[in-house]
Amino acid sequence: MSHTTNQSWGGRFSEPTDAFVARFTASVDFDRQLALHDIQGSRAHATMLARVGVLSEDERDTILGGLDDVAADIEAGTFEWSVELEDVHMNVEASLTEKIGITGKKLHTGRSRNDQVATDIRLFMRDAIDNVAAELARLREGLIDLADREAETIMPGFTHLQSAQPVTFGHHLLAWQEMLARDHERLLDCRRRVNVLPLGAAALAGTTYPIDRHVTAELLGFERPAENSLDAVSDRDFAIEFTSFASLLLMHLSRMSEELVLWTSAQFDFIDLPDRFCTGSSIMPQKKNPDVPELVRGKSGRVYGHLMSLLTLMKSQPLAYNKDNQEDKEPLFDTVRTVQDCLKAFADMVPAIEAKSANMFEAARQGFSTATDLADYLVRKGVAFRDAHEIVGQSVAHGLREGRDLSEMSLEELQRFSDTIEPDVFEVLTLEGSVAARNHIGGTAPDQVRAAAQRARDGLAASGSTG
C-alpha cells in the first residue's frame, strides 16, 4: 500500500484523497462520541474471535490490554484524534496498533466499519435510552407526588381556554402524567428493537470466518443477532423511532410548558416557580420570567426537525450501507442531549411547584363553571337534557346581565327558569360539590385523584424505570 493513501483502504488507489474531500467526508469530529462504545464492541469481537480460533488467546489478551490503554487515553483526554483517519473506528484502531504492534491489525478480521458503526450506535442508544428512561421516571414520580398533595385543590378546567368545569390541580397534573406514561411505554418498547446485534454482518454479506454471533451478542448484552446482513448494516429505524418518541415527548413537555407559562403570569397567578428556575429582565426590575418552560417549549421544534432529517436521510437509500448514513449521528446525538436536558430540568422543577390555591379557587368561581352540574341536576329531576340545557342557558344569560354566578342567585331567581329547581340545588352549585360529584375512575373527586395517583405509582414501579 502506498504511504500516500489511506491506510485502511488505499491499496487500489493511485493518489491520495483531496485534502478538502478528506475533511468533508470525515466524521471523527462528531462520531468520536462513540469511542468507548466502539472499544466495548471491539473487546467482545476479539473475545469471540479467540473462542472460534481465529485469534490465539495471547493475541486476544494483547488486544484487550491495548484497548484498555486506548480507553484510558480517551477518558483522560490525552487521545490524539486525526481527521486523516476519517472516523472513530480508524482512530481507535491506529492507536491500538501503535501500542501493541501488528497484532492490532488483526482486530478487524471478520468485520467491517459498516457493521461496526451500526453496533456502536446501538450500544450508545441503549445507554441513552436507559438514562432517558430514568429521568422520565423521576419526572413522573414528581408529578404523581405533587398530584397526590394537591388532590383537593380546586382550579378551573378549560376547553378552548375558556372556563368549562371545575377540576382539581391534582387531577390536571395526572393528565400530564398520563401523557408521560405513554411516552415511557414507547421508549421501553423502542429499546427492544435497539437491542439487536448487527456485528458479524460485515460490509453487507457476512463473513467467511467461522464467527459465532450469539457469543458476541451475549458478551454485549444484546437479545439476539440481527437476522439479515443487508438489513443489519443499513437499518436506522431504531434511530428514527427514538427521535419519533422524542418528538412526542417534547410535544407533551411543550404543552405542559405552555400551561406553566400561563399559570405564572399575573393574569392567571395560579402557581409559583422557584427563583432558581427563572430569570429576570435587564431593564424591568419587577420581572420574573419562566425561562425553563419557555426554553423547553422552544426545543420541541429542534427535535421535530431532527425527526424529519432522519426520515429524509433514509427515504431513498438502496440496500445496503451508503455514505449518507454518516449524517444520522449529529441529529441523533443532539436529540438525545436535548431530551436528557429537558427531562432533567422538568424533573428538578416540577416537585418545587407551589400552587396558589386561593387564586385557583377564585378563578374556578368565574365563568359559570357549575352550569353543567345544574343541567345534570335538572335531568335527574326528570327534565329532558335538551330542555335542561335551554333552562341553564337562560339562567347563565341572566347571570351575565346581573354580574352574578349561578351559586350567587337566590332560589326564587333560579325558579323563574324552572319550577323543578328546589333548595337542594345549591349542593351541586358549589365548586366542592361539583368536583366531588364526579366520583368515578378517571373523575375529579379527591378520593379518585388519590386512587389514580396510587395506580400510577404502582404502574411506574411495575414497569421499571429502564429496560
**pLDDT tens by residue, 179-194:** 999 999 999 999 999 9
CA-to-CA distance for 151 and 444, rounded, in angstroms? 9
Tell me the pLDDT band of 21, cut-offs 50, 70 and 90: confident
pLDDT digits (tens, 9 = 90+) for 300-334: 999 999 999 999 999 999 999 999 999 999 999 99
Q: Where are the alpha helices (DSSP H) in 105-228?
A: 113-149, 169-194, 213-220
pLDDT score at 1? 35
Q: What are phi and psi of 155, to 5 degrees?
A: -145, 165
Largest CA distance in the chain: 103
Dihedral over Cα of 396, 270, 184, 452: its sign: negative
Q: Where are the alpha helices (DSSP H) in 350-430?
A: 357-364, 371-380, 385-402, 411-415, 426-429
CB distance 143 to 176 below 8 Å: yes
Q: Which H helix or E strand runs over 271?
A: strand 271-272
CA distance 270 to 96: 60
Compute the distance between CA of residue 414 and CA of residue 144 in angstroms, rounded to an integer.
40
Set of cell numbers at residue 181: 406514561
> pLDDT band at 218, cuts 50/70/90?
very high
pLDDT number for residue 11:
61
Distances from the Cα of 402 to the Cαs of 237, 399, 409, in angstroms? 62, 5, 10
pLDDT digits (tens, 9 = 90+) for 379-400: 999 999 999 999 999 999 999 9
CA distances to 121, 191, 334, 336 from 131, rounded to whole Å, are: 15, 12, 15, 10
| CA distances to 202, 269, 357 from 116, in Å | 8, 54, 57
Contacts of residue 410, Cβ cutoff 8 Å, sequence gap at least 6: none
pLDDT in tens, 353-368: 999 999 999 999 998 9
Question: What average pLDDT does this structure show over 163-176?
Answer: 97
Which one, of 247, 244, 210, 216, lies nearest residue 232 by Cα?
216
Which of these, 299, 296, 302, 115, lies nearest to 213 by C-alpha position?
Answer: 115
Do residues 238 and 190 make contact, with C-beta atoms less than 8 angstroms apart? yes
User: pLDDT, tens digit, for every residue of 402-437?
Assistant: 999 999 999 999 999 999 999 999 988 999 999 999
**By the 8 A CB rule, do 342 and 377 touch?**
no
As a whole number of angstroms, the distance between CA 466 and CA 456 comes to 16
What pTM did the predictor assign? 0.92
Residue 242 belongs to what H/E stretch? helix 237-264
Q: Quote the cell numbers at residue 3.
A: 504511504
Q: What is the mean pLDDT of residues 170-176?
A: 98
d(C-alpha 399, C-alpha 416), whole Å = 13
| Omega within 30 of 0 (cis) for the link into 181 | no
Nearest to 187 by CA among 120, 255, 144, 250: 250
Nearest Cα neighbor of 250 from 213, 284, 300 is 300
pLDDT at 281: 81
Catalytic residue annotation = 160, 281
Residue 352: alpha-carbon gap to chain centroid? 21
Binned at pLDDT 50, 70 and 90, residue 12 comes out as low
- The secondary structure of residue 4, as a DSSP letter, is T
Q: What is the pLDDT of residues 53-79, one digit of tens each?
A: 999 999 999 999 999 999 999 999 999
